Amino acid sequence: MNKYLRKTILALTVIVLLVLPLRFGDIVSAQSVTSARLSLIPAQEDALLPGSILTVSVLFESGGHDVDAVDVVIAYDANKIDVQNIHGSDLFASYPLTSAENGTIRISGLAAINEPVNGNGTFATFDIHVKDGATGSTSLAVIDSGDTGSHVAEHGTAADVLGETVGATYNIGAASPSATPTPTPIVDALPSTGVVWPTYMIVFLVLITTTFGFVVLR
């Protein structure tokens, strides 16, 4: 092997050793990035009664993306539940929109400027109040299609990277009937003899006593 060939092989070896780790790192990084995900917790509940209140959490998973903004849109049955107390978490810097009306919940979160969110955590929470008379089951559906649906905006591109949504279904049981209190019977205290005399016995004794006394006096 001549000197020129040895130098060529050495140079190629150095290039491979320098480039391969960089390319391998790119492959690993690409594999670790998936679609973002929005889900509701708890996803199921079997013991809700009319009048009860349940706190629901919206879980956010960035899928490895840097995220600037999230819009969550959830449909619910306004005939069976009311939605109250919507609160954003500290996952995003601000929540300019938190509303629930006409069967639709809308929650928007914004990251601080040049501080995108990358990770998992609770995005927001809200309470559902089961209406009196509600029966059967009720569902919360995270809407992820259309311009008015849920979106996850990627940092730097504003591309929607939301890929999966998971809603929730809650069963509503019948309220237990109120127990009718049993009236407490009122019992008059017995006389010291422990004997209750009927009225006709008392009248009879009074008549006998009166007659006997009249006879004696005559």
Q: Does the predicted model carry a pTM greater than 0.75?
A: no
For residue 174, pLDDT beyond 60: yes
For residue 164, pLDDT beyond 60: yes
pLDDT for the residue numbered 207: 53
Contacts of 60 (CB under 8 A, 6+ apart): 36, 37, 38, 70, 91, 117, 120, 121, 122, 123
Q: Are 75 and 143 in contact (CB under 8 A)?
A: yes
Q: What tens digit of pLDDT does each residue of 176-215 get?
A: 555 555 666 554 544 544 444 555 455 455 456 555 454 4
More confident residue, 168 or 209: 168
pLDDT for the residue numbered 2: 57
Q: Which backbone phi and psi does 60 adopt, to 5 degrees?
A: -115, 135
Domains of the chain, with CATH numbers? 51-172 (2.60.40.680)
pLDDT for the residue numbered 53: 96
For residue 146, pLDDT beyond 50: yes
For 43, counting Cβ atoms within 10 Å of its Cβ (0-12 exposed, 13-18 middle, 19+ buried), the class is middle
Rounded Cα–Cα distance for residues 1 and 4 (Å) = 8
> Percent of the chain having pLDDT more than 90?
60
More confident residue, 18 or 166: 166
pLDDT for the residue numbered 211: 54
Both structure tokens of 90 = 């500290």
| Interval 19-31 mean pLDDT | 42
Buried b (16+ CB within 10 A) or exposed e, 143-172: bbeeeebbbbbbbeeeebbbeebebbebeb
